[in-house]
Structure 1
Amino acid sequence: MMHRPLIEGRTLNYLRSGQGFFEGTLGQIEREATAAGVPVIPAETAHFMQTLFYGIQPEQVLEVGTAIGFSAAVMLAAMGPTGHVTTIDRFDVMREHAQTNFKRLGITNQVTLMAGEAAEILPTLTGPYDVIFLDGAKAKYLDFLPDCLRLLQPHGYLLIDDIFQGGTIFNSPKTIKHRNKAIHRKLNQLLDHVFRAPNLQASLLPLGDGLLMITPR
Structure 2
Amino acid sequence: MPNTSMEVLFETMRSYAAEHHVPIMEEQGIDELLALLRQQKPLRLLELGTAIGYSALRMADALPDVSIDTIERDEERFGKALGFIRESGMESRVRAICADALELDIAELSPYYDAMFIDAAKGQYERFFDKYESLLSPGGIIYCDNMSMHGMAEQPIKEVPRRKRTMIRNIRSFRERMDKHPGFDCELLPVGDGLLVCRKK
**Partner in structure 1 of residue 82 of structure 2:** 99
CA contact (8 A) 2:144 2:196 kept: yes
CA distance in structure 2 between the partners assigned to 1:86 and 1:101 by the alignment: 15
SS in 2 for 1:68: coil
CA distance in structure 1 between the partners assigned to 2:158 and 2:54 by the alignment: 36
CA contact (8 A) 1:87 1:111 kept: yes
After superposition, the CA RMSD in angstroms is: 1.8
Identity score, percent: 27
Q: How many residues align?
A: 195
CA distance in structure 2 between the partners assigned to 1:93 and 1:36 by the alignment: 11
CA distance in structure 2 between the partners assigned to 1:174 and 1:42 by the alignment: 27
CA contact (8 A) 1:169 1:188 kept: yes
Matching residue's letter, 1:42: E
* Structure 2 alignment gaps of length 5 or more: 1-5
**Deviation above 4 Å: which 4+ runs of structure 1?**
none
SS in 1 for 2:77: helix
SS in 2 for 1:104: helix
CA distance in structure 1 between the partners assigned to 2:34 and 2:129 by the alignment: 23
The answer as to 2:129 corresponding to 1:145 is yes
- Worse overlay, 148-157 or 120-129: 120-129
CA distance in structure 2 between the partners assigned to 1:214 and 1:122 by the alignment: 24
Offset at residue 104 of structure 1 (A): 1.1
Matching residue's letter, 2:133: L
CA distance in structure 1 between the partners assigned to 2:103 and 2:38 by the alignment: 31
* Structure 1 alignment gaps of length 5 or more: 1-21
CA distance in structure 1 between the partners assigned to 2:129 and 2:20 by the alignment: 32
**Partner in structure 2 of residue 160 of structure 1:** 144
CA distance in structure 2 between the partners assigned to 1:122 and 1:71 by the alignment: 23
CA distance in structure 1 between the partners assigned to 2:11 and 2:105 by the alignment: 31
Offset at residue 102 of structure 1 (A): 0.5
SS in 1 for 2:180: coil
Offset at residue 35 of structure 1 (A): 4.7
- Worse overlay, 100-109 or 36-45: 36-45
